[in-house]
Amino acid sequence: MAEPTIEQYGGKMVFFSQQIEAGDGDWSPLGIVLFEFESAAKARKWYNSPKYQAVIGQRISSTDSNTVFIDVD
């Protein structure tokens, strides 16, 4: 099965950093990756796509990660 690509859904990686310092609270990620999509609908279409759903379990079981959708419109 081919891996789902973000580009197929109008997305691109715009930011990655492991230089993170929390100002307060208990959130302490080791890294942040920001993907930008043409629309919130396309981001959700990618996330809910059968190809991504087929591999999301691997991400969840191998990392301590979260997915957040932010609509800036």
Half-sphere exposure of 25 (CA within 13 A, CB side): 6
Interval 22-36: pLDDT, tens: 889 988 888 999 999
47 found inside a domain: yes
**For residue 60, pLDDT beyond 70:** yes
9 found inside a domain: no
Distance of CA 44 to the CA centre of its chain: 10
| Mean of pLDDT over the chain | 88
Range of the domain at 55: 39-64
50 found inside a domain: yes
> Does an H or E element contain 4, and which?
none
Q: Could you tell me the pLDDT band of residue 61, with boundaries at 50, 70 and 90?
A: very high
Task: Count up the domains in the chain and report the number.
Answer: 1
pTM, two decimal places = 0.77
Q: Of 50, 52, 65, which is closest to residue 3 (Cα–Cα)?
A: 52
